[in-house]
Every structure is written in C-alpha cells, then in structure tokens.
C-alpha cells in the first residue's frame, strides 16, 4: 500500500499526503524544497500522526531518481506534483519550465518503467482549455497555450498518452481549476514566495497588512458584476480526489489506460464575490481598488464535474466560505510562525 508522491511537501502535495495517510497508505515523498519548506514534514506528521518516508531529491537528476525508486519496488502508484508553477516566471524563463516540468516528468516515467511501476496520477490544469464556454467538460478542445507553463501541462499530457500507448502505464490526468484554502488544522497551506500572483494569497496578505492594497484586475468584463469568474476548489477536496484517482487505477476501475478528469466545484465565483465572502467570514475589511485588466486573463471559467462524480465517485464538500475561513487561519498561522517557515 505504498504510494510515491513527488512534490509532496508543496501546497497540494502536502494535503494529499495527509489524506493518503488517513486512508491507510504508506507514503514516500520526494521533493527538492524548491518551493516548500522542510517544516511541512513535521506538520504533516502532527496532523496524521504518521511519518512519511522522505528523500530530498531533484527529479531533474535522472540517475538519483532511478536509484531511489529502485529501492522502493513495492510502490503501487505515483502521484506527480513536482513542477514549477509561476505563469509569469515561465514567460521570462521558459527553459526552466520545460526542463523541470517536461524533463522531470520524462525522468520519472523512465524510473517507473525500469522498476515496473505502472500507475501515475498527474497534476494538470484547467489552463489547457484557455477561454471556453463554461461549464467546461473534459472533451472541450485543448487551446493554444497562453504561457510556457500552460504548454508544459499540455506537453506532459501528450508524453503520458504516448507512453501509455507504448507500455503498461496507466494514467489519470487531473485538471485542477483554482485550488484555494488550507487544512483545518492551519498547519499546512500555500506558501507563496515573494509577491503572490494568485488572488486568495493576495487577499489574505493584504488583510494581514503585508500588502497595502489588493488590485481587482478589471471590472468591465461581460459578467454580472464585471469581474472575472473562476471555479475555486478547496485544497482538501482536491486532495481527496487524488486518493479516488489512485484507487481508480489500482482497483482497475478504469476502462481506458489514459483518463482525464476535471476537478472543480462546478460553480463559478467572481473576484468581487470572493472578496465579499472573505470579509463576511473573517470580519476583516479588505483594502482593495479596481484597476486595469491583467494581460492574459480569461473572462470566466468553471468546471463541468460530472465525469469525476460518476467515475471517481468524488465531489466537493466545501464551499467558498470554508475556503476563505481556512485560508485566513493559515495566514495567521504563518504570521505567528514566521521564524519556523522562512
Ligand atoms: P507547489 O509549488 O506548492 O508544490 C510543488 C512542489 O514540487 C514543491 O514542494 C517544490 O519544491 C517541488 N518541486 C518542484 N520542482 C521539483 C523538482 N525538480 N524535484 C523535486 N521537487 C520539485 O505547487 P502546488 O500548488 O502544490 O502544485 C502542485 C502541482 O499542481 C504542480 O504540478 C502544479 O503545476 C499543478 N497545478 C497547480 C495549480 C495551483 O493553482 N496551485 C493549478 C493547477 C495545477
Ligand atoms: C484569479 C482571478 C485575476 C490577483 C492561475 C494560473 C492557472 C492555474 C491557477 C496552475 C483573475 C484576479 C488576481 C490579484 C485580481 N495554475 N486577480 N487581483 O489566473 O485563474 O489561474 O492559477 O495551473 O494556470 O494562470 O488565478 O488566482 O491568479 O486569478 O483581481 O491581485 O483573480 O484577474 O480574474 P488564474 P489567479
């Protein structure tokens, strides 16, 4: 019952490790701490009461990866989170993204093949759909990527599909919409480095006084309140879907060796709705202003989630209020533990 989790000390990875341990799996984590902190390991253990096997390893180091995987031949499946994820940085430094996200995935697939590990769950993104008419289902066309980051997700899906055809590999690719929120314990959450690009970390940091003002990027979109609409999914709901995906593969419930699932709530929320919900559940007034549109933003997207509900027997349980409440509790935890996190 051993699962290998790459990027397991990151935001989504750490929540997934906790859910795997809660479900009785033994977890092996590899991470190079490029975008996470060693203290996450202790906090995972505090939550689940279980210790994961951990190896500090960079998946770009093919030989080290192969050597490590060969010492764990009883791995049933791999959940592959390790990647770089900053859209803006990928435009400035595309080679870093192709090397880490695509090269790292190729290395991992080689290590899996050499060691007879046949099941992989991959972290993809709704960004592959570009601007599409919501609700967006899995059969919506893949659009030309808007960034090198988005392109790495498309390429990795193609690499996985080709390798699935050529070998015993079975793949589930999970296309996440907008993951937000944190664990109820407030011991793990998203650790944005520098100025956050994403809406919810920017909201919590502004409310905490780390940022002066939140800029709403445009209120002249063709939506009811003029601001963009996204599908915000709680990270614990998202994490639980990974256990369903692993079991879909290892219990041989899949009908195709390459499957894709959207992971969202199926409900769109506007930027202003997110801000209002944050103010309502926390009682904190947010300093925000309306600014210019951000280049590259799409007007609205939310998921069609029927496939995940039907085939994975999964759906979200938490609402936007819970997302904001837990994101705020995590922000306050970070403030109180600034020395142990930095
Ligand atoms: P994260 O940065 O918090 O976690 C990624 C982890 O991978 C980090 O701990 C980092 O240190 C590690 N890592 C990166 N490169 C590595 C390497 N070469 N070797 C070993 N470890 C490495 O990101 P996250 O938000 O948890 O995202 C996880 C996955 O989900 C990523 O693949 C991301 O592209 C994808 N995704 C994220 C979002 C989102 O909004 N958070 C949305 C869609 C898809
Ligand atoms: C949400 C909305 C902004 C910040 C990104 C990636 C995508 C995926 C998820 C990985 C938008 C608005 C934001 C701010 C704002 N990641 N906003 N002020 O752009 O939907 O998706 O993260 O795969 O690939 O592109 O998420 O949180 O950046 O923005 O008004 O300071 O909030 O304009 O409408 P996005 P986001």
Average pLDDT over residues 85-101: 97
Name the residue ranges covered by the structural domains of the chain.
2-181+232-263, 199-230+266-341
pLDDT digits (tens, 9 = 90+) for 188-206: 999 988 899 999 999 999 9
Any ligand 2 atom below 6 A from CB of 299: no
Tell me the fold of 2-181+232-263: Rossmann fold (3.40.50)
Share of the chain above pLDDT 70, in %: 99
Q: Average pLDDT of the chain?
A: 96
* CATH architecture of the domain with range 199-230+266-341: Alpha-Beta Complex (3.90)
Angstrom distance (rounded) from CA 230 to CA 219: 14
Q: Kindly give the distance from the C-alpha atom of residue 225 to the centroid of ligand 1, in angstroms, as a whole number.
A: 32
Any ligand 1 atom below 6 A from CB of 14: no
Q: What pLDDT, on a 0 to 100 scale, did the predictor assign at position 338?
A: 65
Any ligand 1 atom below 6 A from CB of 138: no
Task: Detail the DSSP E strand segments found in the chain.
Answer: 2-6, 26-31, 53-56, 75-80, 119-125, 170-176, 178-180, 214-217, 229-230, 232-234, 258-263, 269-270, 288-291
pLDDT digits (tens, 9 = 90+) for 207-222: 999 999 999 999 999 9
Q: Which ligand minimizes its atom distance to the CA of 268?
A: 2
Q: Kindly give the distance from the C-alpha atom of residue 215 to the centroid of ligand 2, in angstroms, as a whole number.
A: 12
Average pLDDT over residues 50-62: 98
Q: What pLDDT, on a 0 to 100 scale, did the predictor assign at position 113?
A: 98
- Residue of 9, 10, 66, 330 to test ligand 1 pocket, by largest number of atoms within 8 Å of CB: 10
Query: What is the per-residue DSSP string for 134-192?
Result: SSBPTTSPPPPPSSHHHHHHHHHHHHHHHHHHHSS-EEEEEEE-EEE---TTSSS----
Q: Which range is least confidently modeled, 64-73, 111-120, 278-287, 332-341?
A: 332-341
pLDDT digits (tens, 9 = 90+) for 264-286: 999 999 999 999 999 999 999 99
Any ligand 1 atom below 6 A from CB of 152: no
Any ligand 2 atom below 6 A from CB of 180: no
Q: What pLDDT, on a 0 to 100 scale, did the predictor assign at position 340?
A: 44
Polymer length in residues for the chain: 342
Q: Report the SS3 class of residue 26.
A: strand
Ligand 1 atom having least distance to the Cα of 82: 7
- Token pair 């770089």 is found at 84
Q: What pLDDT, on a 0 to 100 scale, did the predictor assign at position 203?
A: 98
In terms of DSSP bridges, do strands 26-31 and 2-6 run parallel, antiparallel, or are they unpaired? Answer: parallel
Any ligand 2 atom below 6 A from CB of 257: no
Active site residue 11: no
Q: Kindly give the distance from the C-alpha atom of residue 115 to the centroid of ligand 2, in angstroms, as a whole number.
A: 38
pLDDT digits (tens, 9 = 90+) for 109-152: 999 999 999 999 999 999 999 999 999 999 999 999 999 999 99
């Amino acid at each position: 019952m051993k699962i290998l989790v790459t990027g397991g000390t990151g935001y989504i990875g750490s929540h997934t490790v906790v859910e795997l341990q809660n479900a009785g799996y033994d977890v092996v984590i590899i991470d190079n701490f490029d975008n996470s902190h060693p203290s996450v390991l202790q906090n995972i253990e505090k939550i689940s009461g279980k210790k994961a096997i951990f190896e500090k390893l960079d998946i770009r180091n093919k030989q080290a990866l192969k050597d490590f995987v060969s010492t764990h031949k009883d791995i049933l499946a791999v959940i592959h989170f390790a990647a770089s994820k900053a859209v803006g940085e990928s435009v400035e430094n595309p080679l870093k993204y192709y090397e880490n996200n695509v090269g790292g995935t190729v290395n991992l697939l080689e290590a899996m093949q050499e060691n007879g590990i046949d099941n992989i769950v991959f972290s993809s993104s709704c960004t592959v759909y570009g601007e599409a008419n919501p609700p967006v289902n899995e059969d919506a066309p893949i659009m030309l990527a808007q960034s090198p980051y988005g392109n790495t997700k498309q390429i990795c899906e193609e690499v996985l599909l080709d390798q699935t055809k050529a070998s015993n590999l079975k793949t589930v690719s999970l296309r996440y919409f907008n993951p937000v929120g944190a664990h109820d314990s407030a011991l793990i959450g998203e650790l944005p480095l520098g100025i956050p690009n994403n809406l919810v970390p920017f909201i919590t940091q502004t409310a905490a006084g780390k940022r002066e003002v939140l800029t709403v990027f445009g209120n002249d979109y063709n939506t009811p309140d003029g601001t963009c609409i996204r599908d915000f999914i709680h990270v614990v709901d998202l994490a639980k879907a990974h256990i369903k995906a692993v079991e879909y593969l290892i219990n041989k419930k899949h009908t195709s060796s390459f499957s894709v699932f959207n992971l969202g709530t199926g409900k769109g929320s506007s930027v202003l709705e997110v801000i209002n919900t944050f103010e309502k559940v926390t009682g904190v007034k947010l300093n925000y202003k309306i600014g210019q549109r951000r280049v590259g933003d799409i007007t609205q997207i939310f998921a069609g989630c029927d496939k995940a509900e039907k085939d994975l027997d999964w759906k979200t349980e938490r609402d936007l209020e819970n997302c904001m409440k837990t994101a705020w509790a995590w922000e306050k935890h970070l403030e109180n533990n600034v020395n142990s996190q930095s």
